[in-house]
């Protein structure tokens, strides 16, 4: 049996991380990240970004990610930020979705 394509494996990991953290608050929606769920995601999965003592940065990051301002980060918003992050890591500016 052949290995799954690398991009499929990587996307599966990104989806799994979102689902894991979005489900942490049993009272909140399982398909969206609250600020409290985003904080440990950023601390663990983004090299310590948003760790304690950095509340202002966390607030700024949450506002950036919550593009529709509903107080939650949904999967599309999460992936948009990851796309921008990937572009920055790849030395390319991210200007949003092409029309
Ligand atoms: Ca949102």
CA of 60 to the centre of ligand 1 (A): 14
According to DSSP, the residues that pair with 73 across neighbouring strands are 33
For residue 46, the model assigns a pLDDT of 81
For 31-42, give one letter per residue: b (16+ CB within 10 A) or e: ebbbbebbbebb
Distance CA 77, CA 69 (A): 11
Residue among 76, 67, 88 at smallest CA distance from 14:
76
For residue 75, the model assigns a pLDDT of 98
What is the per-residue pLDDT across 45-78, written as a single tens digit (0 to 9) for each?
Answer: 986 665 666 788 888 889 999 999 999 999 999 9
Res. 95 pLDDT band, cuts 50 70 90 = confident
For residue 48, the model assigns a pLDDT of 67
Contact 23, 30 (CB under 8 A): yes
CA of 39 to the centre of ligand 1 (A): 15
The residues near 30 (Cβ < 8 Å, ≥ 6 apart) are 19, 22, 23
């Amino acid at each position: 049996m052949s290995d799954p394509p690398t991009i499929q494996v990587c996307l599966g990991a990104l989806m799994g991380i979102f689902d894991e953290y979005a489900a942490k608050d049993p009272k909140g929606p399982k398909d969206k990240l609250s600020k409290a769920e985003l904080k440990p995601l950023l601390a663990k999965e983004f090299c310590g970004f948003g760790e304690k003592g950095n509340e202002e940065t966390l607030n700024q990051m949450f506002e950036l990610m919550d593009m529709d301002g509903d107080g939650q980060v949904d999967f599309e918003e999460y992936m948009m930020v990851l796309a921008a992050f990937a572009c920055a890591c790849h030395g390319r500016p991210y200007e949003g979705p092409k029309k």
